[in-house]
């Protein structure tokens, strides 16, 4: 293989070469871990877009004497791969009294940005509109995602009230704001994602970011800025927990540094946890503990 073809593994476990999904040997999909005492509601429709139903899966602890805080998990996969059915670290939180929604959204080969954030915001609106039905606390919604999902949850957190990013996937009038964000190694500033060395050529015309916005970043600066969570940072943003491996060769570490600095400058409650020696992906207890602590402080 030529030297410029660098294979990387994203958090979804899918093989990507220069950001283009490659065929891989078929393997049985990993089952969800056992979830005793948890009711799974699959394929709930939260709206329609691109001529099809948009769906999410909802996991509800069966025993609760009060409305549940909700973790809204947004999967990664370079905006080109991954699914709401992929196991997530959020699911284990159902044992601690959290409901979890895993959201499906349109990938970049189906629709360009801002379709992806339109879908995520529509899912939040639908969940809030149906909070009483599912025993959810509409004032305790947490958005959590990794990689491309980290980008989308950061955008959910910073773009509350930005009308052009709301979309029309459903016509519900509820707020799409979230009360906390957990961003795991998501891209945050497309215009500066090429500043740091990376195994992925982010500025190339076939990069995942280019496929998302419809062209190379430097030739589409307005679109790149519109897709960047850092563009919308204000004091209105909810508390953020940002975590990123300092050895990440896929999404540069500087992306989290830049967002953290912008949030702090705006006066937002932001916490940054560098994961020493970690690459593009983590999930053991040393990564879960900061999330547990953050959620206890912010919403539990």
Q: What is the pLDDT of residues 68-81, one digit of tens each?
A: 999 999 999 999 99
Report the pLDDT averaged over residues 161-166.
Answer: 96
The secondary element (H helix, E strand) that includes residue 264 is: helix 254-265
Q: What is the pLDDT of residue 4?
A: 31
Are the C-beta atoms of 248 and 279 separated by less than 8 Å?
Answer: yes
Domain segments of the chain as ranges: 34-189+230-298
Identify which of 8, 6, 7, 57 has the alpha carbon closest to the alpha carbon of residue 35: 57
Tell me the C-alpha distance between 160 and 241, whole Å: 17
Report the pLDDT averaged over residues 169-195.
Answer: 97
**pLDDT by residue (tens digit) across 270-289?**
999 999 999 999 989 999 99
Q: Which two tokens stand for residue 201?
A: 């050529």
Q: What is the pLDDT of residue 34?
A: 52
Confidence band for 128, pLDDT divided at 50, 70 and 90: very high
pLDDT at 84 > cutoff 80: yes
Q: Which two tokens stand for residue 127?
A: 């969940």
Q: What is the pLDDT of residue 8?
A: 31
**Whole-prediction pTM value?**
0.90
Q: What is the pLDDT of residue 28?
A: 42
pLDDT at 1 > cutoff 50: no
Q: What is the pLDDT of residue 24?
A: 34
Q: Which two tokens stand for residue 261?
A: 């600095």
CA distances from 132 to 139, 171, 188 (A): 12, 19, 34
Q: What is the pLDDT of residue 13?
A: 35
**pLDDT by residue (tens digit) across 89-100?**
999 999 999 999
**pLDDT by residue (tens digit) across 257-268?**
999 999 999 999
Q: What is the pLDDT of residue 283?
A: 86
Q: Which two tokens stand for residue 25?
A: 């040997």
Identify which of 37, 174, 39, 168 has the alpha carbon closest to the alpha carbon of residue 101: 39
Higher pLDDT, 30 or 141: 141
pLDDT at 226 > cutoff 50: yes
Count of CA atoms in the C-beta half-sphere (13 A) of 71: 30
Tell me the C-alpha distance between 279 and 243, whole Å: 11
Q: What is the pLDDT of residue 63?
A: 87
- In terms of Cβ atoms closer than 10 Å to its own Cβ (0-12, 13-18, 19+), residue 284 is exposed
Helix then strand then coil, % of the chain, to nearest 5: 30, 25, 45
Q: What is the pLDDT of residue 31?
A: 45
Fold of 34-189+230-298: Rossmann fold (3.40.50)
Lowest mean pLDDT across 58-67, 119-128, 147-156, 223-232: 58-67
Lowest mean pLDDT across 19-28, 122-131, 222-231, 288-297: 19-28
Q: What is the pLDDT of residue 218?
A: 97
Q: Which two tokens stand for residue 154?
A: 């950061």
Residues of the chain with pLDDT > 70: what percent?
88
Instruction: Work out the mean pLDDT of the chain and round it to a whole number.
Output: 90
Tell me the C-alpha distance between 300 and 293, whole Å: 10
Alpha helices in the chain (DSSP H): 115-129, 131-134, 148-158, 208-213, 221-226, 254-265, 285-298
C-alpha 242: how far from chain center: 12
Report the pLDDT averaged over residues 166-190.
Answer: 97
- Using the structure block, give the residue that is written with the tokens 């973790």: 71
**pLDDT by residue (tens digit) across 6-46?**
233 333 333 332 233 333 333 444 445 557 899 999 999 99
Identify which of 122, 101, 89, 85 has the alpha carbon closest to the alpha carbon of residue 39: 101
Q: What is the pLDDT of residue 64?
A: 86
């Amino acid at each position: 293989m030529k030297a410029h073809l660098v294979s990387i593994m994203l958090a979804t476990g899918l093989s990507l070469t220069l950001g283009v999904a490659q065929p891989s040997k078929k393997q049985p999909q990993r089952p969800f871990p056992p979830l005793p005492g948890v009711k799974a509601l699959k394929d709930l429709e939260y709206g329609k877009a691109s001529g099809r139903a948009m769906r999410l899966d909802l996991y509800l602890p069966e025993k609760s004497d009060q409305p549940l805080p909700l973790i809204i998990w947004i999967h990664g996969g370079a905006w080109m791969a991954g699914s709401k059915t992929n196991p997530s670290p959020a699911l284990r939180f159902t044992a601690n009294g959290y409901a979890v929604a895993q959201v499906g959204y349109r990938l970049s080969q189906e629709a360009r940005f801002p379709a992806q954030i339109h879908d995520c915001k529509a899912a939040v609106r639908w969940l809030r509109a149906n909070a009483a039905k599912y025993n959810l606390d509409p004032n305790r919604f947490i958005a959590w995602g990794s990689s491309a999902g980290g980008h989308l949850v950061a955008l959910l957190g910073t773009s509350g009230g930005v009308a052009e990013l709301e979309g029309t996937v459903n016509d519900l009038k509820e707020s799409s704001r979230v009360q906390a964000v957990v961003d795991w190694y998501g891209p945050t500033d497309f215009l500066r994602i090429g500043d740091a060395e990376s195994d992925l050529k982010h500025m190339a015309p076939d990069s995942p970011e280019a496929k998302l916005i419809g062209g190379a970043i430097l030739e589409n600066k307005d679109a790149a800025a519109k897709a960047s969570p850092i563009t919308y940072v204000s004091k209105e943003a909810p508390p953020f927990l940002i975590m990123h491996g300092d050895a990440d060769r896929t999404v540069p570490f500087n992306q989290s540094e830049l967002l953290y600095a912008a949030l702090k400058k705006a006066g937002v409650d932001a916490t940054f946890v560098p994961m020493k020696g970690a690459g593009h992906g983590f999930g053991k207890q040393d990564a879960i503990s900061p999330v547990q602590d953050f959620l206890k402080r912010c919403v539990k």
